[in-house]
Chain A
Amino acid sequence: MDELRRTLSELKHLRRASIEKDMCTHPGVIGGLCIRCGQKVDDQSGVAFGYIHKDLRLGNDEVARIRKRDFKNLLRQKKLYLVLDLDHTLLNSTRLLDITPEEEYLRSQTHALQEPLKGSLFRLDYLHMLTKLRPFVRTFLKEASNLFEMYIYTMGERAYAMEMAKLLDPENVHFNSKVIAQGDCTQRHQKGLDVVLGHESAVLILDDTEPVWVKHKDNLILMERYNFFASSCRQFGFNCKSLSELKSDESEADGALATVLEVLKQIHGMFFDQKLGDNLVDRDVRKVLKTVRMEVLKGCKLVFSRVFPTKFQAEKHQLWKMAEQLGALCTTELDPSVTHVVSTDAGTEKSHWAVREKRFLVHPRWIEAANYLWQKQPEENFPVKQTKSQL
C-alpha cells in the first residue's frame, strides 16, 4: 500500500515537472538552450544580444522585464543610463599608414599598452592604428560613473571596440558586458536603443554623429567632433593643419568633455530632484534634456539674413530648428522685439538695421557654438564680415 502511495506521488511530481517544462515560455535562448528550462530551442525570434554572449537572444517580454527590474535597481542607486560613442567623441584613431610627415614625432611618444592609465596616446600594432584619447576622458568616465551606468556603442567592429574599451577602462569596471559594436545593430547604419537593457526614458546618448540616431534624437546630446589626427581632418573636409600637426590639443579643463560633464550633472540633478513630488519611475530624462537645452538661448529673438538659400522654407532649416531647440524665438520679419540678427553678410538690409538699432549682429556659428557649449557665447566673438555687395 505504501509502495503504491509512493509511486503515485512520484508520478504526480514528474507530471508537474513536465507540465512546468511544457509551459515554459522560453524567455531567452543562449547557445540554443532556453535560459529557463534548459530545453533545446530553435527559435530565432526576439533580439540578439551578441555583446553579452555570442549566442544570446532574448524575447521582447524578457527584455521588458529586465529593463523594468534594472531600472528600479538603478533608481535606488540614483543613476541613469549613458550611451557613449567612441570615435570623435571619446577618442580619435588613425591608421598607421595615414600618418603625415608632420605627425611622425608621435611614433616615439606612444605609451605602453600595459600601462593604460598613464598617458593618452597608444599604438596598436595588431590593428595597425594609433589612438589618441580625448583630454579629460579619464576624469569624465570616473565622475560620470557615479551618476550613470555606461555603455559603449560604436559603429566600429567588435575587435576594435574591445581594444578601445580596454584603453578607456583597463580594470573592466565601467563597461563590463556593455560594449556594443557594429555587428550588434539590428538595423544597418543605424544605432538603436533596442539592444540597450535600459528604459528609453532614462537613457542619454553622447555622440558626434546625429544621423545614426534617427529613432532616438530626443535622447541625444551632440558632441563636438574630436579630430586630433590629420587623417580625421581630411575625412571631414578640413584643409587646415590638425591638432597633431600643430603639436597642440583640446583644452582639458574647458574642452567638450568637461563642458558636457557639467550638463550631465545638471540633468541628473534635475531628474532626481526630490521636490518635484511625482514618482521617479514616471519621470523622463528626455524632457529634462529639452528643458535644460531651452535655457541656453532663452530670451533671444532671432532674424536670419542671407543664411538660408532663397525660396527655402526657413522654419525647416537646420539652424532655425537648432535655435528653437535652444530656447530662442525665430522669426522672418524684423520688429522691435528682435534681439539678434544672424547673418553671413554685414551689407544686407537686415544687418544694417541691427547696427542702426544697436541690436546684436552675429555669424550663424554663434548658434552652433551655443549648441556645443551649452551656453550663450559672447556675441562679439562672432562678427560678420562685409562681402562685396552688388550696390
Chain B
Amino acid sequence: MFFHIVLERNMQLHPRHFGRDLRDKLVAKLMKDVEGTCSGRHGFVVAITGIEHVGKGLIRDGTGFVTFPVKYQCVVFRPFKGEILEAVVTMVNKMGFFAEAGPVQIFVSNHLIPDDMEFQSGDMPNYTTSDGSVKIQKDSEVRLKIIGTRVDATEIFCIGTIKDDFLGVISDPGSTS
C-alpha cells in the first residue's frame, strides 16, 4: 500500500556547499540519500514530494560540517500481511514463481498455487491448469495476497499466495488487450 507521509531526517552538509544554493544542494542530497531506501517502519521510499521545513543548522564541533533537521513529505510503499496486491511475474521455476510489485519482490511457492495448476518446463516455463485455460508465465499479471514480509536496508521481500478466492492471473501476456 502507498502512503504519503512526513518524515524527518538530520542532513549533514560539507562547508563547500554553503552559499547561494545551500537549500537546493541540501534537497538534492536528501533525495540522493533517501529515495530508494527501505526501513522496517515505513517501507520503501519511492519519491520525495516536497520539503516541509528546514530547521536551523548546527555546526558540529571539531569538523566544519553543519547538521540541518529536515522535515519532508514523501510517498512510501509498504506491503502488509493480508494485503492484496497486483504484481508482474518475473521468473517461473519448479519451486514456484517470483513476481514484482514495484520495488517489492514476492515469492509464491507451489504450496500456495492451486493444486490443479501444474508446472510445465520448457523454453517458457509456466504453471497451467489441466485444461490449459489459465496459464502463469513470465510477464503475466497476477493478483496475490501477502502472507509474510521482511524488510532490510535495501529491499523488501514477501511471501505471497494465490490459493484463495479471486486471486490468480489477471491477464495473459500473450493475449491482445
Chain A interface (Cβ < 8 Å from any Cβ of B): 27-28, 30-40, 52-53, 55-56, 66, 70, 73-74, 77, 149, 171, 173, 176-177, 197
Residue from A36, A40, A173 in contact with B111 in the complex, judged by beta carbons closer than 8 Å: A36
A33 touches B148 (CB 8 A): yes
Interface presence of B21 (CB below 8 A): no
Contact status A176-B93, CB under 8 Å:
yes
Contacts of B81-124 to chain A: CB distance below 8 A: 81, 91, 93-96, 98, 107, 109, 111-112, 118-123
Interface pair A40/B148, CB less than 8 Å apart: yes
Shortest CB distance B125–A (Å)? 7
Question: Which residues from 138 to 167 on chain B have a C-beta closer than 8 Å to any C-beta of chain A?
Answer: 146-150, 157-159
Q: A31-B150, A34-B148, A38-B159 are in contact. List 19 more A-B contacts (CB 8 A).
A: A28-B109, A30-B157, A31-B157, A32-B150, A33-B148, A33-B149, A33-B157, A35-B95, A35-B96, A35-B109, A35-B159, A36-B109, A36-B111, A36-B112, A38-B146, A40-B148, A53-B98, A56-B95, A66-B95
Q: Name A24's closest neighbour in chain B (CB-CB).
A: B111
Chain A nearest CB from B139 CB (Å) reads: 14
Q: Are A171 and B148 in contact (CB under 8 A)?
A: no
Complex formed: what's the CA distance from A219 to B153 in Å?
A: 44
Instruction: Report the minimum CB–CB distance from A179 to chain B (whole Å).
Output: 12
Of A27, A30, A39, A173, which is within 8 A of B107 by CB? A30
- How distant is B96 from chain A, measured CB to nearest CB, in Å? 7
Task: Indicate if the CB atoms of B148 and A38 lie closer than 8 Å.
Answer: yes
Residue of A nearest to B119 (CB): A73
Give chain A nearest CB distance to B132 CB in angstroms. Answer: 15
Expressed in whole angstroms, the minimum distance between the Cβ of B155 and any Cβ of chain A is 9
Decide: B148 and A37 in contact? CB cutoff 8 A.
yes
Cβ–Cβ < 8 Å partners of B112 in chain A: 35-36
Q: Which of B81, B91, B119, B159 contacts A34 (CB 8 A)?
A: B159
Q: A53 contacts which chain B residues (CB < 8 A)?
A: 98, 107
B111–A35 CB distance below 8 A: yes
How far is it, in angstroms, between the C-alpha of A53 and the C-alpha of B106 when the chains are bound? 12
Distance in angstroms between the alpha carbons of A34 and B91 in the assembled complex = 19
Distance, CA A77 to CA B94, complexed state (A): 15
Q: How far is the CA of A40 from the CA of B40 in the complex (A)?
A: 14
User: Which chain A positions have C-beta within 8 A of B91?
Assistant: 176-177
Enumerate 12 A-B pairs (CB-CB under 8 Å) in ascending A order: A31-B107, A33-B148, A35-B111, A35-B112, A38-B81, A38-B146, A39-B148, A52-B95, A53-B98, A70-B119, A73-B118, A73-B119
> Which residues of B lie under 8 Å from residue A70 when comparing CB positions?
94, 119
B95 near A173 with CB under 8 A, answer no
CB-nearest residue of chain B to A55: B157
Nearest CB on B from A46, distance (A): 13
CB atoms of A177 and B148 under 8 A apart: no
Min CB–CB distance B148 → chain A (angstroms): 2
Given A33-B148, A40-B150; A197-B94 close (CB under 8 Å) = yes
Complex CA–CA separation, A345 to B148 (angstroms): 72
Contact, CB under 8 Å: A176 / B148: no
A184 to B111 alpha-carbon distance, docked (Å): 24
Chain B neighbourhood of A31, CB < 8 A: 107, 150, 157
Instruction: Please give me the residue from chain B that is nearest to A37 by CB atom.
Output: B147
Nearest 5 pairs of A and B residues by beta carbon: A38-B148, A38-B147, A35-B109, A173-B123, A31-B157
When chains A and B are docked, how far (Å) is the Cα of A135 from the Cα of B94?
32
How far does the Cβ of B165 sit from chain A's closest Cβ, in whole Å? Answer: 14
In the bound complex, CA of A36 to CA of B112 (Å): 7
Closest B residue to A172 by CB, please name it: B123
Write the nearest CB–CB distance from B38 to chain A, whole angstroms.
Answer: 13
Our pick among A30, A37, A74, A171 for the contact of B123 (Cβ within 8 Å) is A171
In the docked arrangement, what's the CA distance between A34 and B120, Å?
Answer: 24
Complex interface: chain B residues within 8 A of A177 (CB): 91, 93
Q: Please, which residues of chain B bring their CB within 8 A of the CB of A74?
A: 121
For B145, the closest partner residue in chain A by CB is A38
Alpha-carbon gap, A177 to B125, bound state (A): 11
Residues of A within 8 A of B148 (CB): 33-34, 37-40
Chain A residue nearest to B93 (CB atoms) is A177
Q: How far is the CB of A81 from chain B (nearest CB, A)?
A: 11
